[in-house]
Protein backbone atom coordinates (compact mmCIF):
# COMPACT_ATOMS: atom_id res chain seq x y z
CA UNK A 1 0.00 0.00 0.00
CA UNK A 2 1.33 3.42 -0.94
CA UNK A 3 4.46 1.81 -2.34
CA UNK A 4 6.50 1.73 -5.54
CA UNK A 5 7.94 -1.31 -7.32
CA UNK A 6 10.01 -0.26 -10.33
CA UNK A 7 12.96 -1.07 -12.57
CA UNK A 8 13.12 -4.82 -11.86
CA UNK A 9 13.74 -7.73 -14.25
CA UNK A 10 12.77 -11.41 -14.20
CA UNK A 11 13.67 -14.10 -16.71
CA UNK A 12 10.35 -15.91 -16.38
CA UNK A 13 7.39 -14.39 -14.50
CA UNK A 14 6.63 -11.27 -12.51
CA UNK A 15 9.25 -8.66 -13.28
CA UNK A 16 8.01 -6.49 -10.40
CA UNK A 17 6.04 -9.02 -8.30
CA UNK A 18 5.47 -12.79 -8.65
CA UNK A 19 2.74 -14.44 -6.54
CA UNK A 20 1.87 -18.16 -6.56
CA UNK A 21 -0.76 -19.99 -4.52
CA UNK A 22 -1.47 -16.73 -2.68
CA UNK A 23 -3.30 -13.40 -2.69
CA UNK A 24 -1.71 -10.07 -3.59
CA UNK A 25 -3.17 -6.59 -2.99
CA UNK A 26 -1.72 -3.43 -4.55
CA UNK A 27 -3.54 -0.45 -3.03
CA UNK A 28 -3.30 3.04 -1.60
CA UNK A 29 -1.97 4.67 -4.76
CA UNK A 30 0.88 2.21 -5.20
CA UNK A 31 2.86 2.08 -8.43
CA UNK A 32 4.29 -0.91 -10.31
CA UNK A 33 6.26 0.50 -13.23
CA UNK A 34 9.18 0.00 -15.55
CA UNK A 35 9.63 -3.72 -14.87
CA UNK A 36 10.42 -6.51 -17.37
CA UNK A 37 9.75 -10.27 -17.51
CA UNK A 38 8.80 -13.10 -19.83
CA UNK A 39 5.26 -13.15 -18.41
CA UNK A 40 3.83 -10.33 -16.32
CA UNK A 41 6.28 -7.47 -16.73
CA UNK A 42 4.70 -5.70 -13.76
CA UNK A 43 2.87 -8.47 -11.87
CA UNK A 44 2.63 -12.20 -12.46
CA UNK A 45 0.33 -14.62 -10.59
CA UNK A 46 -0.07 -18.40 -10.82
CA UNK A 47 -3.07 -20.01 -9.16
CA UNK A 48 -3.31 -16.83 -7.17
CA UNK A 49 -5.31 -13.63 -6.85
CA UNK A 50 -4.18 -10.06 -7.44
CA UNK A 51 -6.24 -6.97 -6.61
CA UNK A 52 -5.16 -3.54 -7.81
CA UNK A 53 -7.26 -0.88 -6.07
CA UNK A 54 -7.32 2.51 -4.41
CA UNK A 55 -6.00 4.53 -7.32
CA UNK A 56 -2.94 2.36 -7.86
CA UNK A 57 -1.21 2.01 -11.22
CA UNK A 58 0.55 -0.66 -13.26
CA UNK A 59 2.35 1.19 -16.03
CA UNK A 60 5.27 1.13 -18.42
CA UNK A 61 6.10 -2.54 -17.94
CA UNK A 62 7.23 -4.97 -20.66
CA UNK A 63 6.82 -8.73 -21.20
CA UNK A 64 6.26 -11.35 -23.86
CA UNK A 65 2.78 -11.93 -22.42
CA UNK A 66 0.95 -9.64 -20.03
CA UNK A 67 2.97 -6.46 -20.18
CA UNK A 68 1.24 -5.12 -17.06
CA UNK A 69 -0.32 -8.19 -15.40
CA UNK A 70 -0.07 -11.92 -16.24
CA UNK A 71 -2.53 -14.42 -14.70
CA UNK A 72 -1.91 -18.15 -15.28
CA UNK A 73 -4.01 -21.20 -14.42
CA UNK A 74 -6.96 -20.62 -12.10
CA UNK A 75 -5.87 -17.12 -11.18
CA UNK A 76 -7.89 -13.96 -10.68
CA UNK A 77 -7.18 -10.32 -11.59
CA UNK A 78 -9.28 -7.47 -10.17
CA UNK A 79 -8.65 -3.83 -11.02
CA UNK A 80 -10.94 -1.38 -9.22
CA UNK A 81 -11.30 1.87 -7.33
CA UNK A 82 -9.97 4.28 -9.90
CA UNK A 83 -6.82 2.29 -10.63
CA UNK A 84 -5.10 2.06 -14.00
CA UNK A 85 -3.22 -0.37 -16.21
CA UNK A 86 -1.55 1.83 -18.81
CA UNK A 87 1.35 2.19 -21.19
CA UNK A 88 2.48 -1.45 -20.95
CA UNK A 89 3.86 -3.47 -23.87
CA UNK A 90 3.83 -7.18 -24.73
CA UNK A 91 3.57 -9.66 -27.56
CA UNK A 92 0.16 -10.78 -26.27
CA UNK A 93 -1.94 -8.85 -23.78
CA UNK A 94 -0.25 -5.47 -23.64
CA UNK A 95 -2.11 -4.56 -20.44
CA UNK A 96 -3.38 -7.86 -19.01
CA UNK A 97 -3.05 -11.53 -20.04
CA UNK A 98 -5.33 -14.19 -18.53
CA UNK A 99 -4.77 -17.87 -19.42
CA UNK A 100 -6.42 -21.19 -18.63
CA UNK A 101 -9.44 -20.69 -16.39
CA UNK A 102 -8.32 -17.43 -14.92
CA UNK A 103 -10.68 -14.45 -14.79
CA UNK A 104 -10.31 -10.69 -15.20
CA UNK A 105 -12.56 -8.03 -13.63
CA UNK A 106 -12.09 -4.31 -14.28
CA UNK A 107 -14.47 -1.98 -12.45
CA UNK A 108 -14.38 1.81 -12.20
CA UNK A 109 -10.82 1.87 -13.54
CA UNK A 110 -8.95 2.27 -16.80
CA UNK A 111 -6.98 0.09 -19.19
CA UNK A 112 -5.42 2.54 -21.63
CA UNK A 113 -2.49 3.15 -23.93
CA UNK A 114 -1.24 -0.44 -23.86
CA UNK A 115 0.30 -2.15 -26.89
CA UNK A 116 0.45 -5.77 -28.07
CA UNK A 117 2.44 -6.80 -31.11
CA UNK A 118 -0.07 -9.58 -31.70
CA UNK A 119 -3.50 -9.82 -30.00
CA UNK A 120 -5.13 -8.06 -27.08
CA UNK A 121 -3.75 -4.56 -26.72
CA UNK A 122 -5.64 -3.94 -23.48
CA UNK A 123 -6.68 -7.46 -22.36
CA UNK A 124 -5.89 -10.91 -23.85
CA UNK A 125 -7.96 -13.83 -22.58
CA UNK A 126 -7.58 -17.54 -23.39
CA UNK A 127 -10.07 -19.91 -21.72
CA UNK A 128 -10.72 -17.09 -19.25
CA UNK A 129 -13.81 -14.88 -18.76
CA UNK A 130 -13.51 -11.08 -18.78
CA UNK A 131 -15.91 -8.66 -17.05
CA UNK A 132 -15.59 -4.87 -17.42
CA UNK A 133 -18.01 -2.31 -15.97
CA UNK A 134 -17.93 1.44 -15.45
CA UNK A 135 -14.42 1.49 -16.88
CA UNK A 136 -12.45 3.11 -19.69
CA UNK A 137 -10.75 1.07 -22.41
CA UNK A 138 -8.98 3.68 -24.51
CA UNK A 139 -6.11 4.06 -26.98
CA UNK A 140 -4.93 0.47 -26.79
CA UNK A 141 -3.49 -1.13 -29.92
CA UNK A 142 -2.90 -4.66 -31.27
CA UNK A 143 -3.10 -6.65 -34.48
CA UNK A 144 -6.56 -7.74 -33.33
CA UNK A 145 -8.53 -6.85 -30.25
CA UNK A 146 -7.14 -3.38 -29.61
CA UNK A 147 -9.10 -3.17 -26.37
CA UNK A 148 -9.98 -6.84 -25.66
CA UNK A 149 -9.24 -10.12 -27.40
CA UNK A 150 -11.24 -13.11 -26.15
CA UNK A 151 -10.81 -16.52 -27.70
CA UNK A 152 -13.61 -19.00 -28.33
CA UNK A 153 -13.68 -20.19 -24.73
CA UNK A 154 -13.49 -16.76 -23.10
CA UNK A 155 -16.87 -15.04 -22.65
CA UNK A 156 -16.52 -11.27 -22.55
CA UNK A 157 -18.93 -8.96 -20.72
CA UNK A 158 -18.50 -5.18 -20.98
CA UNK A 159 -21.11 -2.82 -19.54
CA UNK A 160 -21.41 0.98 -19.20
CA UNK A 161 -17.82 1.54 -20.19
CA UNK A 162 -15.95 3.82 -22.57
CA UNK A 163 -14.41 2.00 -25.51
CA UNK A 164 -12.74 4.77 -27.51
CA UNK A 165 -9.70 5.21 -29.71
CA UNK A 166 -8.57 1.59 -29.75
CA UNK A 167 -7.12 -0.01 -32.88
CA UNK A 168 -9.21 -2.30 -35.09
CA UNK A 169 -10.77 -4.60 -34.21
CA UNK A 170 -11.21 -2.89 -30.83
CA UNK A 171 -13.38 -5.64 -29.34
CA UNK A 172 -12.53 -9.03 -30.82
CA UNK A 173 -14.98 -11.43 -29.14
CA UNK A 174 -15.68 -14.91 -30.49
CA UNK A 175 -16.89 -17.04 -27.59
CA UNK A 176 -19.48 -19.70 -28.30
CA UNK A 177 -20.71 -18.72 -24.88
CA UNK A 178 -22.54 -15.43 -24.39
CA UNK A 179 -20.56 -12.26 -25.22
CA UNK A 180 -22.40 -9.18 -23.97
CA UNK A 181 -20.92 -5.77 -24.68
CA UNK A 182 -23.97 -3.58 -24.06
CA UNK A 183 -24.69 -0.01 -22.94
CA UNK A 184 -21.17 1.15 -23.77
CA UNK A 185 -19.96 4.44 -25.26
CA UNK A 186 -18.06 3.61 -28.44
CA UNK A 187 -16.85 7.11 -29.19
CA UNK A 188 -19.75 8.08 -31.47
CA UNK A 189 -23.48 8.48 -31.13
CA UNK A 190 -24.00 6.00 -34.00
CA UNK A 191 -22.50 3.13 -32.00
CA UNK A 192 -19.71 0.67 -32.80
CA UNK A 193 -18.35 0.01 -36.27
CA UNK A 194 -17.23 -3.35 -37.66
CA UNK A 195 -20.08 -5.72 -36.94
CA UNK A 196 -21.95 -2.70 -35.62
CA UNK A 197 -23.75 -0.04 -37.67
CA UNK A 198 -21.88 3.05 -36.49
CA UNK A 199 -18.53 4.82 -36.78
CA UNK A 200 -17.19 4.36 -33.24
CA UNK A 201 -14.66 1.74 -32.13
CA UNK A 202 -15.17 -1.60 -33.88
CA UNK A 203 -16.53 -4.93 -32.68
CA UNK A 204 -16.29 -8.36 -34.27
CA UNK A 205 -19.59 -9.60 -32.84
CA UNK A 206 -21.46 -10.20 -29.60
CA UNK A 207 -24.53 -8.42 -28.23
CA UNK A 208 -23.57 -4.74 -28.53
CA UNK A 209 -27.08 -3.28 -28.82
CA UNK A 210 -28.14 -1.10 -27.07
CA UNK A 211 -25.22 1.32 -26.78
CA UNK A 212 -24.84 4.65 -25.03
CA UNK A 213 -25.62 7.67 -27.21
CA UNK A 214 -23.80 10.15 -24.95
CA UNK A 215 -20.42 9.66 -23.26
CA UNK A 216 -20.28 8.85 -19.57
CA UNK A 217 -18.81 11.40 -17.19
CA UNK A 218 -15.62 9.34 -16.86
CA UNK A 219 -15.06 9.00 -20.60
CA UNK A 220 -12.08 10.92 -22.02
CA UNK A 221 -12.90 13.56 -24.59
CA UNK A 222 -11.73 13.35 -28.18
CA UNK A 223 -11.44 16.91 -29.58
CA UNK A 224 -13.25 17.67 -32.86
CA UNK A 225 -11.47 18.10 -36.19
CA UNK A 226 -12.73 21.07 -38.22
CA UNK A 227 -12.72 21.05 -42.03
CA UNK A 228 -13.60 24.24 -43.91
CA UNK A 229 -13.15 22.62 -47.35
CA UNK A 230 -12.18 25.10 -50.07
CA UNK A 231 -10.64 26.85 -51.79
CA UNK A 232 -13.77 28.62 -53.02
CA UNK A 233 -14.24 30.70 -56.19
CA UNK A 234 -17.13 33.13 -56.44
CA UNK A 235 -18.05 36.07 -58.67
CA UNK A 236 -18.39 39.41 -56.89
CA UNK A 237 -21.77 40.12 -55.28
CA UNK A 238 -22.99 36.54 -55.83
CA UNK A 239 -23.58 33.63 -53.44
CA UNK A 240 -21.78 30.37 -52.74
CA UNK A 241 -22.27 27.70 -50.04
CA UNK A 242 -19.35 27.07 -47.68
CA UNK A 243 -19.04 23.40 -46.77
CA UNK A 244 -18.15 22.25 -43.25
CA UNK A 245 -19.73 18.80 -43.58
CA UNK A 246 -16.36 17.01 -43.49
CA UNK A 247 -15.84 18.17 -39.90
CA UNK A 248 -15.44 15.20 -37.56
CA UNK A 249 -16.51 14.97 -33.93
CA UNK A 250 -16.63 11.59 -32.20
CA UNK A 251 -19.31 12.74 -29.80
CA UNK A 252 -21.39 14.04 -32.69
CA UNK A 253 -22.67 17.21 -31.00
CA UNK A 254 -20.28 19.98 -32.04
CA UNK A 255 -21.21 23.65 -32.49
CA UNK A 256 -20.09 25.52 -35.60
CA UNK A 257 -19.04 29.16 -35.91
CA UNK A 258 -17.92 30.61 -39.27
CA UNK A 259 -16.35 34.00 -39.90
CA UNK A 260 -15.06 35.70 -43.07
CA UNK A 261 -12.65 38.58 -43.67
CA UNK A 262 -14.90 40.04 -46.38
CA UNK A 263 -18.46 39.50 -47.53
CA UNK A 264 -21.40 38.22 -45.50
CA UNK A 265 -22.79 34.94 -44.12
CA UNK A 266 -26.50 34.20 -43.82
CA UNK A 267 -26.03 32.19 -40.61
CA UNK A 268 -22.48 31.59 -39.29
CA UNK A 269 -23.67 28.79 -36.97
CA UNK A 270 -24.73 26.47 -39.80
CA UNK A 271 -22.63 23.52 -40.96
CA UNK A 272 -22.79 24.92 -44.51
CA UNK A 273 -23.77 28.61 -44.53
CA UNK A 274 -24.37 30.75 -47.61
CA UNK A 275 -21.66 33.31 -48.34
CA UNK A 276 -22.34 36.51 -50.28
CA UNK A 277 -19.21 37.88 -51.94
CA UNK A 278 -18.39 41.60 -51.65
CA UNK A 279 -18.03 43.99 -54.58
CA UNK A 280 -14.29 44.31 -53.93
CA UNK A 281 -12.20 41.66 -55.69
CA UNK A 282 -9.49 39.73 -53.86
CA UNK A 283 -8.71 36.70 -51.75
CA UNK A 284 -10.55 36.44 -48.44
CA UNK A 285 -10.34 33.93 -45.60
CA UNK A 286 -13.17 31.81 -44.20
CA UNK A 287 -12.54 30.52 -40.68
CA UNK A 288 -14.47 27.66 -39.08
CA UNK A 289 -14.26 27.10 -35.32
CA UNK A 290 -15.81 23.85 -34.05
CA UNK A 291 -16.53 23.38 -30.34
CA UNK A 292 -17.63 20.08 -28.80
CA UNK A 293 -19.71 19.50 -25.68
CA UNK A 294 -16.57 19.33 -23.53
CA UNK A 295 -15.43 22.77 -24.64
CA UNK A 296 -12.62 21.50 -26.85
CA UNK A 297 -12.18 23.48 -30.07
CA UNK A 298 -10.48 23.12 -33.41
CA UNK A 299 -10.08 25.72 -36.16
CA UNK A 300 -9.79 25.37 -39.93
CA UNK A 301 -9.50 28.00 -42.66
CA UNK A 302 -10.11 28.17 -46.40
CA UNK A 303 -9.46 30.77 -49.08
CA UNK A 304 -12.27 32.49 -50.96
CA UNK A 305 -11.29 34.12 -54.25
CA UNK A 306 -13.73 36.79 -55.35
CA UNK A 307 -13.30 37.43 -59.06
CA UNK A 308 -14.75 39.57 -61.81
CA UNK A 309 -15.49 37.52 -64.95
CA UNK A 310 -14.12 40.41 -67.00
CA UNK A 311 -10.86 41.87 -65.66
CA UNK A 312 -8.65 44.41 -67.46
CA UNK A 313 -4.97 44.90 -66.80
CA UNK A 314 -3.50 48.43 -67.15
CA UNK A 315 -2.68 49.78 -70.61
CA UNK A 316 0.66 48.51 -71.79
CA UNK A 317 1.57 51.94 -73.21
CA UNK A 318 0.22 54.84 -75.24
CA UNK A 319 1.09 53.17 -78.55
CA UNK A 320 1.08 54.99 -81.87
CA UNK A 321 -2.03 56.88 -82.83
CA UNK A 322 -2.91 57.01 -86.52
CA UNK A 323 -5.75 58.31 -88.65
CA UNK A 324 -4.97 55.74 -91.33
CA UNK A 325 -5.76 52.07 -91.66
CA UNK A 326 -5.93 50.05 -88.40
CA UNK A 327 -6.40 46.36 -87.89
CA UNK A 328 -7.73 44.49 -84.82
CA UNK A 329 -5.69 41.48 -83.73
CA UNK A 330 -7.11 39.21 -81.06
CA UNK A 331 -5.82 35.90 -79.67
CA UNK A 332 -6.18 33.48 -76.79
CA UNK A 333 -2.97 33.37 -74.75
CA UNK A 334 -3.52 30.78 -71.98
CA UNK A 335 -6.34 28.56 -70.72
CA UNK A 336 -6.40 27.83 -66.99
CA UNK A 337 -8.48 24.93 -65.63
CA UNK A 338 -9.27 26.19 -62.11
CA UNK A 339 -11.83 23.50 -61.25
CA UNK A 340 -12.59 20.34 -63.22
CA UNK A 341 -16.10 18.89 -63.42
CA UNK A 342 -14.79 15.43 -62.60
CA UNK A 343 -11.76 13.69 -61.13
CA UNK A 344 -10.86 11.34 -63.95
CA UNK A 345 -7.65 13.02 -65.13
CA UNK A 346 -6.85 15.12 -68.19
CA UNK A 347 -9.87 16.01 -70.32
CA UNK A 348 -10.40 17.36 -73.82
CA UNK A 349 -11.72 20.93 -73.89
CA UNK A 350 -13.13 23.06 -76.69
CA UNK A 351 -13.18 26.87 -76.62
CA UNK A 352 -15.33 28.96 -78.98
CA UNK A 353 -15.34 32.74 -78.84
CA UNK A 354 -16.84 35.74 -80.59
CA UNK A 355 -16.12 39.46 -80.24
CA UNK A 356 -17.76 42.56 -81.78
CA UNK A 357 -15.96 45.87 -82.30
CA UNK A 358 -17.47 49.24 -83.22
CA UNK A 359 -15.72 51.99 -85.20
CA UNK A 360 -15.95 54.88 -82.75
CA UNK A 361 -17.07 57.51 -85.22
CA UNK A 362 -20.64 58.76 -85.20
CA UNK A 363 -20.51 59.48 -88.92
CA UNK A 364 -19.75 55.90 -89.91
CA UNK A 365 -21.10 53.55 -87.21
CA UNK A 366 -19.33 50.50 -88.62
CA UNK A 367 -18.96 47.14 -86.88
CA UNK A 368 -16.58 44.21 -87.27
CA UNK A 369 -17.11 40.80 -85.65
CA UNK A 370 -14.63 37.97 -85.23
CA UNK A 371 -15.01 34.37 -84.16
CA UNK A 372 -12.57 31.63 -83.26
CA UNK A 373 -12.42 28.03 -82.07
CA UNK A 374 -9.55 26.16 -80.41
CA UNK A 375 -9.15 22.90 -78.49
CA UNK A 376 -6.80 21.92 -75.65
CA UNK A 377 -6.20 19.15 -73.11
CA UNK A 378 -5.98 19.97 -69.42
CA UNK A 379 -6.85 18.95 -65.86
CA UNK A 380 -7.66 20.90 -62.69
CA UNK A 381 -4.81 23.19 -61.66
CA UNK A 382 -3.17 23.15 -65.11
CA UNK A 383 -2.48 26.08 -67.46
CA UNK A 384 -2.27 25.44 -71.21
CA UNK A 385 -0.59 27.85 -73.63
CA UNK A 386 -2.95 28.36 -76.59
CA UNK A 387 -1.32 31.13 -78.71
CA UNK A 388 -4.30 30.95 -81.06
CA UNK A 389 -4.66 34.15 -83.10
CA UNK A 390 -7.10 35.57 -85.60
CA UNK A 391 -7.69 39.00 -87.04
CA UNK A 392 -10.43 41.15 -88.44
CA UNK A 393 -10.57 42.79 -91.79
CA UNK A 394 -9.04 46.28 -91.91
CA UNK A 395 -10.87 49.60 -91.82
CA UNK A 396 -9.94 52.37 -94.24
CA UNK A 397 -9.59 55.90 -92.80
CA UNK A 398 -9.70 54.51 -89.27
CA UNK A 399 -10.56 57.26 -86.83
CA UNK A 400 -8.08 56.04 -84.17
CA UNK A 401 -10.57 54.65 -81.64
CA UNK A 402 -12.57 51.43 -81.58
CA UNK A 403 -14.99 50.24 -78.96
CA UNK A 404 -15.09 46.62 -77.80
CA UNK A 405 -18.84 46.09 -77.50
CA UNK A 406 -19.41 42.37 -76.83
CA UNK A 407 -17.45 39.23 -75.98
CA UNK A 408 -19.03 35.79 -75.70
CA UNK A 409 -17.50 32.39 -74.98
CA UNK A 410 -18.59 28.76 -74.94
CA UNK A 411 -16.40 26.24 -73.10
CA UNK A 412 -17.09 22.53 -73.61
CA UNK A 413 -15.46 19.63 -71.75
CA UNK A 414 -15.47 16.35 -73.68
CA UNK A 415 -14.77 14.05 -70.74
CA UNK A 416 -15.26 10.68 -72.36
CA UNK A 417 -18.75 10.02 -70.99
CA UNK A 418 -21.99 10.42 -72.93
CA UNK A 419 -22.79 14.11 -73.04
CA UNK A 420 -20.51 17.14 -72.68
CA UNK A 421 -20.16 19.61 -69.82
CA UNK A 422 -20.61 23.18 -71.00
CA UNK A 423 -20.25 26.75 -69.81
CA UNK A 424 -21.28 29.98 -71.54
CA UNK A 425 -20.23 33.55 -70.85
CA UNK A 426 -21.12 36.95 -72.33
CA UNK A 427 -20.18 40.52 -71.41
CA UNK A 428 -20.55 43.99 -72.94
CA UNK A 429 -17.53 46.00 -71.75
CA UNK A 430 -17.93 48.97 -74.18
CA UNK A 431 -14.22 49.66 -73.73
CA UNK A 432 -12.40 52.18 -75.97
CA UNK A 433 -9.12 51.05 -77.56
CA UNK A 434 -6.78 53.43 -79.33
CA UNK A 435 -5.06 52.35 -82.49
CA UNK A 436 -1.61 51.14 -81.44
CA UNK A 437 -2.69 50.08 -77.94
CA UNK A 438 -2.89 46.60 -76.41
CA UNK A 439 -5.38 45.30 -73.85
CA UNK A 440 -4.99 42.14 -71.75
CA UNK A 441 -8.04 40.46 -70.23
CA UNK A 442 -8.90 37.38 -68.19
CA UNK A 443 -12.30 35.81 -68.85
CA UNK A 444 -13.59 33.35 -66.24
CA UNK A 445 -16.29 30.87 -67.24
CA UNK A 446 -18.22 28.51 -64.90
CA UNK A 447 -18.77 25.09 -66.51
CA UNK A 448 -21.99 23.23 -65.72
CA UNK A 449 -21.88 19.38 -65.46
CA UNK A 450 -24.61 18.70 -68.02
CA UNK A 451 -23.99 15.00 -68.70
CA UNK A 452 -26.26 12.97 -70.96
CA UNK A 453 -29.47 14.88 -71.80
CA UNK A 454 -28.76 17.31 -68.98
CA UNK A 455 -28.35 14.55 -66.37
CA UNK A 456 -24.86 14.78 -64.88
CA UNK A 457 -23.15 11.99 -62.98
CA UNK A 458 -23.51 12.27 -59.23
CA UNK A 459 -19.70 12.57 -59.06
CA UNK A 460 -19.62 15.67 -61.30
CA UNK A 461 -19.32 19.17 -59.86
CA UNK A 462 -19.24 22.66 -61.33
CA UNK A 463 -16.02 23.45 -63.17
CA UNK A 464 -14.26 26.77 -63.66
CA UNK A 465 -12.02 27.82 -66.57
CA UNK A 466 -10.30 31.15 -67.15
CA UNK A 467 -8.83 32.31 -70.46
CA UNK A 468 -6.22 35.04 -70.91
CA UNK A 469 -6.94 37.22 -73.95
CA UNK A 470 -4.90 39.89 -75.73
CA UNK A 471 -6.39 42.52 -78.09
CA UNK A 472 -4.19 44.86 -80.14
CA UNK A 473 -5.23 47.63 -82.51
CA UNK A 474 -2.38 47.69 -85.03
CA UNK A 475 -1.67 50.59 -87.44
CA UNK A 476 -1.42 49.41 -91.05
CA UNK A 477 0.47 50.99 -93.97
CA UNK A 478 -1.84 49.61 -96.62
CA UNK A 479 -5.39 48.42 -97.13
CA UNK A 480 -5.44 44.75 -98.10
CA UNK A 481 -7.46 43.78 -101.13
CA UNK A 482 -10.47 41.54 -100.70
* DSSP for 346-359, written as a single string: -EEEEEEEEEEEEE
Please give the average per-residue pLDDT across 320-334, as a whole number. Answer: 65
Of the listed ranges 143-147, 272-276, 293-297, 443-447, the one predicted with least confidence: 293-297
- Distance CA(315)–CA(110), nearest Å, equals 72
Q: What is the pLDDT of residues 146-200, one digit of tens each?
A: 999 988 778 899 999 999 999 988 998 875 455 688 899 998 888 999 989 998 8
**How high is the pLDDT of residue 450?**
74
Residue 33: its pLDDT value, please? 97
Chain mean pLDDT for the chain: 85
**CA-wise closest residue to 151 among 129, 180, 121:** 129
pLDDT exceeds 60 at position 342: yes
Cα 49–Cα 136–Cα 16 angle in degrees, nearest 5: 40
Give the contacts of 9 (CB within 8 A, at least 6 positions apart): 15, 35, 36, 37
pLDDT for position 315: 26
pLDDT-derived band at 313 (thresholds 50, 70, 90) equals: very low
β partners of residue 320: none
Q: The domain 232-307: what is its CATH number?
A: 2.60.40.10
* 482 pLDDT more than 50: no
**pLDDT over 80 at 436, yes or no:** no
CA distance 69 to 18: 10
* Sequence-distant (≥ 6) Cβ neighbours of residue 40 within 8 angstroms: 13, 14, 15, 18, 63, 65, 66, 68, 69, 70, 97
Between CA 80 and CA 107 the distance in angstroms is: 5
**pTM reported for the whole predicted model:** 0.55
Secondary structure (3-state) at 479: coil
Contact 211, 159 (CB under 8 A): no
Q: What is the pLDDT of residue 324?
A: 47
What is the C-alpha separation between 149 and 204, in angstroms, rounded? 10
In percent, how much of the chain has pLDDT > 90? Answer: 52
- pLDDT band, very low/low/confident/very high, at 217 (cuts 50, 70, 90): confident
Q: Give the chain's radius of gyration (CA, Å).
A: 36
Q: How far is CA 221 from CA 89, 218, 332, in A?
A: 24, 9, 56
HSE at residue 423, side-chain half, CA atoms within 13 A, is: 25
The sign of the dihedral angle between the CA atoms of 40, 42, 44, 45 is negative
Beta carbons of 63 and 17 less than 8 angstroms apart = no
Q: How confident is the model at residue 369 (pLDDT cuts 50, 70, 90)?
A: confident
Q: Is 58 helix (H, G, I), strand (E, B) or coil?
A: strand
**Is the per-residue pLDDT at 402 higher than 90?**
no
Burial string for 316-330 (b: 16+ CB within 10 Å, else e) reads: eeebeebebbbbbeb
The answer to whether 266 touches 241, Cβ cutoff 8 Å, is no
Would you place residue 95 in the very low, low, confident or very high pLDDT band (cuts 50, 70, 90)?
A: very high
DSSP 394: P
When mean pLDDT is compared across 16-25, 55-64, 224-233, 468-477, the lowest value belongs to 468-477
Q: Which fold has domain 310-476?
A: Immunoglobulin-like (2.60.40)
**Residue 374: its pLDDT value, please?**
87
Amino acid sequence: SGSSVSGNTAVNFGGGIWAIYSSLTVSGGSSVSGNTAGGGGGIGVGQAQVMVSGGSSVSGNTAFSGGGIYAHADSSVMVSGGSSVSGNTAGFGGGISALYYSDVTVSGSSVSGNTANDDGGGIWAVYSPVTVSGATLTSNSASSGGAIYGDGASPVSVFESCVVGNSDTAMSVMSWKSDKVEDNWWGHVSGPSGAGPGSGDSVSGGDFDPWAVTPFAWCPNTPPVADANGPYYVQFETDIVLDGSATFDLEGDADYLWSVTGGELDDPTLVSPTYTAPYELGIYTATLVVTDSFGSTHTATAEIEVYDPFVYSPWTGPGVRTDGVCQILMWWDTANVLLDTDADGVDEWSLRGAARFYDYDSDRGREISVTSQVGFDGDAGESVVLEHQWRTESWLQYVGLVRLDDVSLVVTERDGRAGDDKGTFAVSPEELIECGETVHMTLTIPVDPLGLRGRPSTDDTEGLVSVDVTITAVPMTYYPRR
